Structure 1
């Protein structure tokens, strides 16, 4: 009896994992993200950036399987905000430094043309990383423009 329970549980877990991966893949690209008006202009800006060949979640989710779950949980919150119009919790597109580093230290074979991080007379990336300074401190608008909806009179925000 317990063997059937274990096999049944494992089967359910495997099926749920496969369904999650299908849903994850279907909802992780820029075409899907641009369906919400809050993100549309960012996707348009991204299409002309140096990162235009990189999927949104390559930058905007933590690494690994738990990172996928984390990203999709945040995404569900954004979907709720979009349809309810309730923006009391600000939408925040998080970029993880580990994602910048994995590509720009050439640890990612998918992008062989990536510019390799190096130290120059103006910038010591080694010291920057060692001090846990964020890549975004200097490269905030690298993937796409930022603060697109923000205007001095605050009328352009998420309308």
Structure 2
């Protein structure tokens, strides 16, 4: 009676490597396409908790900017994909396991820092003279998500007064 792994003794290593390479090519293509798809704003809008934000974003000033351009670190590719994985898994798990229909995704402290860094990255020409003690999105929440919770007025010192 032949051994349990007798079949593998007849396969040459080079053939095994060839088969593994041929099988891995479609796998890498699928993974690459999934990563690219998950970087599209339409993907972000698929979650129930983001439907309203996605709908609002698609009619706002930043509609040509992807969600990941604001909500993920863009200082280096490694940091970008690490946080894409962390935030993506957290949001998908929260959305999937949420029993309530009114589940809302909220920005973490890290997310707030990233959002602020990305506002400054894109708008550095106009924010260099503004008071940086305040986050841009405190006054400009309605730029992408129509979430107006307060009103800002720019004062003569270049800062913003917030009226709640």
TM-score normalised by structure 1 residue count: 0.59
The alpha carbon displacement at 1:72 in A equals: 2.4
The alpha carbon displacement at 1:40 in A equals: 0.9
Give the number of aligned pairs: 117
d(CA) in 1 for partners of 2:80 and 2:98? 26
Larger Rg: 2
Unaligned runs of 5+ in 1: 1-14, 106-115, 119-124, 148-159
Q: Deviations over 1:116-156 (max 9, x none)?
A: 516xxxxxx52413x4x211122122122228xxxxxxxxx
Q: Which has the higher helix share?
A: 2
Unaligned runs of 5+ in 2: 1-24, 149-164
TM-score normalised by structure 2 residue count: 0.58
Structure 1 stretches (4+) deviating beyond 6 angstroms? 17-20
Matched with 1:140 is: 141
SS at match of 1:141: helix
Q: Which has the higher strand share?
A: 2
Matched with 2:44 is: 33
Aligned ranges 1:2-151 → 2 under 5 Å: 22-63=33-74, 64-65=76-77, 66-85=79-98, 91-93=105-107, 94-95=111-112, 96-105=115-124, 116-117=125-126, 126-129=129-132, 131=133, 133-146=134-147
Is the contact between residue 24 and residue 72 of structure 1 (CA under 8 Å) also seen in structure 2? no
Of structures 1 and 2, the one scoring higher in RCO (CA 8 A, sep 6+) is 1
